Structure formats: C-alpha cells, structure tokens
Amino acid sequence: DAGITQSPRHKVTETGTPVTLRCHQTENHRYMYWYRQDPGHGLRLIHYSYGVKDTDKGEVSDGYSVSRSKTEDFLLTLESATSSQTSVYFCAISESLLAGRTETQYFGPGTRLLVL
C-alpha cells in the first residue's frame, strides 16, 4: 500500500472558521492531489501539485487554497468554511502525470468534514 496519511480523519467545524487538512506521503512522489467526494457528484478534483511550491486549480477550487512546502506534505485550507464544503476529502499521489501506468493515483484514507 502507498504510504499516504491524512489528518485529521474526522472534523466538525462551524461555518466561517478556517480549516486545514493535511496529506502526508512517504513515497517521494512528485504529484499530489486533493479531491472531494459527494453523493451524486463522485470525486472531483480541487487542486493538485506538480512539485514543491507548484500547484494548480482543479474543477472545484473556489473556496479552497493549497500549499506544498515539502515533497511529502500537501495542505488543503478552507479559508472560511461553508456548509457546502461538508464532504469527504481525499488526498492522492502519483509518480508521474502523463506517462503510462506510473500516472496511477493512489489515495489516502480520506477525511470526513462536517461544517455546521
């Protein structure tokens, strides 16, 4: 199994508060991703990173920011949480991006976030 951990695994917060989710990998993979999973929408990409300090937006990036100061860590921040951001958040990693099987994304265990 790919060495990917997410913290916290569960969080309850109130609308308007900032929230930071952490993804940590031990595989030294270059690419890291944040997804959210919602009923009826499947998994949707929020942001991804292609190296330290190199990040880009996904399809549902509004209200989220990310940072990657070290290869192994990728942080997702909700600057001011809203109820629509209640979701399960998955981090994923891949060795490559557009290069055959090595582009396979491996997922962390997920974080359940409830915004009241």
Residues near other proteins (CB under 8 A) = 33, 40, 42-45, 56, 58-59, 88, 90, 92, 97-98, 100-101, 103-107, 109-110
Nearest-approach distance from CB 59 to other proteins, in angstroms: 7
Q: Which of 5, 2, 3, 14 is nearest to 90 (CA)?
A: 5
Task: Copy the structure tokens of residue 62.
Answer: 């509004």
Given the complex with other proteins, which of 16 and 109 has the nearer CB atom?
109
- For residue 20, what are the contacts with CB-CB under 8 A and spacing of at least 6? 75, 76, 77, 78
Nearest-approach distance from CB 93 to other proteins, in angstroms: 11
